Amino acid sequence: MAHGKKYNQAAALVEEGKSYDLETAMDLLTKTAFTSFDASAEAHIRLGIDPRHADQMVRGIVVLPHGTGKKVRVIVFAQGEKAQEALRAGADEVGGEDLAKKIEAGFLDFDITLATPDMMGVVGRLGRILGRRGLMPNPKSGTITFDLERAIGEVKGGRVEFKVDKAGIIHTPFGKASFAPQQLGENLAALVDAVNRARPSSTKGHYFKSLTVAATMGPGIRVDVPAVLASATA
């Protein structure tokens, strides 16, 4: 595949096959972002697991210390005092039956759906609409909860959900190219630490096979995983 001039100029800054320490890699990421918009900083983590086996599925949640740089639109299914709590916490839309009907009519201008457990009877019928878009509340991701103030604070403050794909790779953003390299490094360290903690007990051999970061549309930069883990525990 032929790349454009800007990509080639950015790629020339990265030494092929080299694994960089955390600080150098984050500095390179900011320098290789060439898009006219504020590119996302993306992490691609290849794991030594077999995702075909349920006991080796890796998924989890991490709250990035410096956020994602993205404005997150949150809707909440709640009623009574919990609806008021959600509004005070900064939810963009709160409701019950009325919100469900609005979604059925085509409203999808949001990024995260939260719900209190008692509202899942209403939310359940939206499974076909929300499920295929990855917007269905799920207890494993912490999006079904009575603690709405905490959940909304985390989601708007930089919570990221990660999940391994069929090839055994986690793809997830961890900030913006406009962040300071130190902020990106601290976010990446938090992400890698969370993935490490989610390691299945049935995993054998090397868990982390590789870690590559890149700005959107930019060249991949290999990062030394032990250095990132050391930074996370420092």
User: Do 112 and 48 lie in a common domain?
Assistant: no
User: Do 85 and 59 lie in a common domain?
Assistant: no
Q: Is residue 22 a contact partner of residue 225, using CB atoms and an 8 Å limit? A: no
User: Do 79 and 151 lie in a common domain?
Assistant: yes
Q: What is the pLDDT of residue 142?
A: 86
Q: What is the pLDDT of residue 234?
A: 64
User: Do 151 and 88 lie in a common domain?
Assistant: yes
pLDDT digits (tens, 9 = 90+) for 76-111: 999 999 999 999 999 999 999 999 999 999 999 999
Domain end among 156, 178, 198? 156
Mark the ranges of the chain whose per-residue pLDDT is less than 50: none
User: Do 122 and 81 lie in a common domain?
Assistant: yes
CB atoms within 10 A of CB 4: 10
Residue 199, domain extent: 5-69+158-233
User: Do 59 and 86 lie in a common domain?
Assistant: no
User: Do 11 and 56 lie in a common domain?
Assistant: yes
Domain end among 156, 177, 193? 156
Q: What is the pLDDT of residue 204?
A: 84
Q: What is the mean pLDDT of the chain?
A: 93
User: Do 127 and 148 lie in a common domain?
Assistant: yes
Q: What is the pLDDT of residue 106?
A: 95
CATH number at residue 169: 3.30.190.20
52 class by beta-carbon count within 10 Å (0-12 exposed, 13-18 middle, 19+ buried): exposed
pTM over 0.85: no
Domains held by the chain: number? 2
Q: What is the pLDDT of residue 93?
A: 96
CATH number at residue 138: 3.40.50.790
User: Do 146 and 179 lie in a common domain?
Assistant: no
Candidates 83, 90, 76; CA nearest to 153 is 90
Q: What is the pLDDT of residue 1?
A: 61
Q: What is the pLDDT of residue 158?
A: 86
Distances (CA, A) of 112 to 78, 130, 133, 145: 14, 10, 10, 13
Domain end among 101, 123, 156? 156
